[in-house]
Chains A and B, each alone.
Chain A
Amino acid sequence: MTDASLTVAATRPAKAPAAKFLSGAFVPRLIAGVTILALWEGVVRAFAPAYVAKPSGIVMAIPKVIVDPAFLNASFVTLSAVAQGLAIALVFGTMIGLLIGRSVVADRTLRHYVNGFYAVPMVVVLPLFSLWFGYSGATRLATIVFSSLFSIIVNVADGARAVPREYVEVSRSFRAGRISTLLEVVLPASMPYFLAGLRLAAGRALIGAVVAEFFTAIGGLGYFILYNSRTFHHNEAFVGVLLLAGFGVGFDMLVNGSIRRFMPWYRRDEAAS
C-alpha cells in the first residue's frame, strides 16, 4: 500500500494537468463534505435517539470540551504515553531490525519470532499484560510498545537488507568498522523504510493505547471516550475521537512530508522501479 501510494503521489505533480486538477479539487471536496455532514445530521435527527452524536451537537460540544481540564489531562496522559512507548519501540526496534537485516544468524533465529509476534492481533495480550503490569499506566505503556515494536523491526530489517552492496563495500574498503558501517551507512540508507515503519507503528501505538484504556479503565483519552459514551454524552465523547483522528492524520502527514522534504530520491526510485 505505501509503495503504491508513494509512487502515485510522486508522479502526480509532474503531470501537466495536475495544476488544473488541484485547483478544481476544492469544490467537489467541499460538496462531498457538506453532503456527508448533512446526511449524518439528517439520519440521526430522523431515526436515532437524542443522545447519539451528530455534527451540530459535536460542534456545540467542542468549546466546552477543549477547555475541560479532565479532557486536557486525559489527552496529555494518552499522547505522552504513546510518545514514550514509540520512543522505546524505536530504540529497540531499530537495534533488533539492524541486527536481523545485516546478520544471517540473527535473521534465521529471530525472523520467525518477529513475524509471529507481528501477526498476533495485539488486543489479545491485554489480559496477560494487565495481569503482569497491573491496572496501571505500565500496562498501557507495555501494550503500546508491543503494538509498535514489531512493525519497526520488520521495516528496519527490510531496509537494512535492501542497502546496495556497493555502499557496504566502499565503507569496508575505507576500513570502516562494523559498528560505524552499521550506524553511518546502513542506517541512513534504510531511512525511508524506517519512516514507513514508524508511520505504521504510530497508528498501531494509538490503537494500543486506546484498547489498553478500554480494558483496564485507566484514565486517558480512550477512557474519556468510553466514560462519556457510557453516560450518553456522545457528542463530548466524539470530540475525543476527532482528536485521535487528528493525531493519526497529522502523524501521517508529518512522515510523508519529511520523506518528501529530506529524501526526495526515495520517491523517484520508487516511481522508476
Chain B
Amino acid sequence: MRRELINRHAPFVLSLTAGMALWEVVGRYSSPAFMVPLSATLKKLWQLIIGGTLITQFLDSAALFLTGFVLALLIGMPLGLLLARVRGLRVGLEPYIMILYATPMVALIPFILSMMGFGFAPKVLVVFLFAVFPVLYNTIEGARSIKPELIEVARSFRSSEWSLWREVMVPYTLPYTMTGVRLAIGRGLVGMVAAEFFLSSTGLGQMIMTASQNFDTAGVFAAILVIALIGIAMMRLGRRIETHFARWRN
C-alpha cells in the first residue's frame, strides 16, 4: 500500500522539484529585469501576503468573478431550458447563439469601455459575456437530448408544466449544464483578468500591471503565480463538480 503510494506520487514530486530547481537556476543566471528565481518570487509573495495587498486584491477579483459568473448561471441555465422546451424559439435563436459562442468576446471590450466607462458594472459584463455562452449552449444540448418518451410519459400522467421542468428537465439537463459550468469557470477567469487589464485596473490584474509598470519583475512573477494557482484550483473544482453530476447521466 505504502509502496504503491510512493510509486504513484514519486514522479510528480520529482518533476515538481526539478521544475522548481530549473526555475531557480535559470532565474539566477539571467538578468533580473527579465526573470527572477523562484526564491525571490516567493519572498516577494510573502511580502505581499504580510502587507495585506494580496488579500484585498484577491477579494476584489473574487467579487468580480463571482458576480459575473453567478449572473451567467442565473441567466444561462433557465434560458437554455426555455429554448429547449419552446422549439420555435430554439430553432430561431440557435444559429445566433452558436455564432456568439464562437466569437472572441475580448473584441467587445473596447466597445464596453467607451459605452460604460470604468465602473464595476462593465467589468461584470465582460465576465458575464465570457461565461454565459458555454452554460447556455451546453444546457440547450442537454435539454435537447432528453428522450421524448420521458416527456410523453410525464404528460400522460398529467404532469403540470412546472413539475415537468422540476422533475424531468432540470435533473436530466444538469450534468450537461455542469460541463458548461466547467468551461465557464475557465473562460470567466480569462474574462476577469482581461477586464482588470483593459477596463479600470483593480484586483489581481492591477497587481500585475503595477508591478510591470514599476519594472518589479518579482512582483509580476508573484502575481502570475497566484493567478496560475487560482486557475488550477478552479479547474479542479470544475472537474469535480462535473464528475459529481456526471453520475446522473444514463
Contact = CB atoms under 8 A, between A and B. Distances in A.
Interface string A232-249: 101001101100110011
Interface size class of B (residues with CB under 8 A): 35 or more
Nearest to B115: A52
B154 interface: no
A33 B197 CA distance: 33
Contact of B114 (A112, A132, A234): A234
A108 B194 contact: no
Interface stretch (A94-102, A119-127, A259-267): A119-127
A77 interface: no
B16 interface: yes
A1 B183 contact: yes
Given A1-B138, A1-B180, A109-B11, A115 B193 contact: no
B82 interface: no
Given A112-B15, A124-B227, A214-B198, A28 B106 contact: no
B102 A245 contact: yes
B212 A127 contact: yes
Contacts of B141: 1, 4-5, 8
A66 interface: no
Interface size class of A (residues with CB under 8 A): 35 or more
Given A127-B208, A210-B104, 6 more contacts: A32-B96, A119-B234, A121-B231, A214-B197, A222-B107, A232-B114
23 contacts: A1-B138, A4-B138, A5-B141, A8-B141, A8-B145, A32-B92, A36-B96, A112-B15, A115-B235, A118-B235, A119-B228, A121-B189, A123-B193, A124-B208, A127-B208, A210-B106, A229-B111, A234-B114, A237-B110, A244-B103, A244-B104, A245-B103, A252-B102
Q: Nearest 5 A-B pairs (CB), nearest first?
A: A32-B92, A108-B11, A28-B92, A127-B212, A229-B110
Interface of B: 11-12, 14-16, 18-19, 33-34, 88-89, 91-93, 95-96, 98-100, 102-104, 106-111, 113-115, 134, 137-138, 141-142, 144-145, 176, 179-180, 183, 186, 189-190, 192-194, 197-198, 208-209, 211-212, 217, 220-221, 224, 227-228, 231-232, 234-235
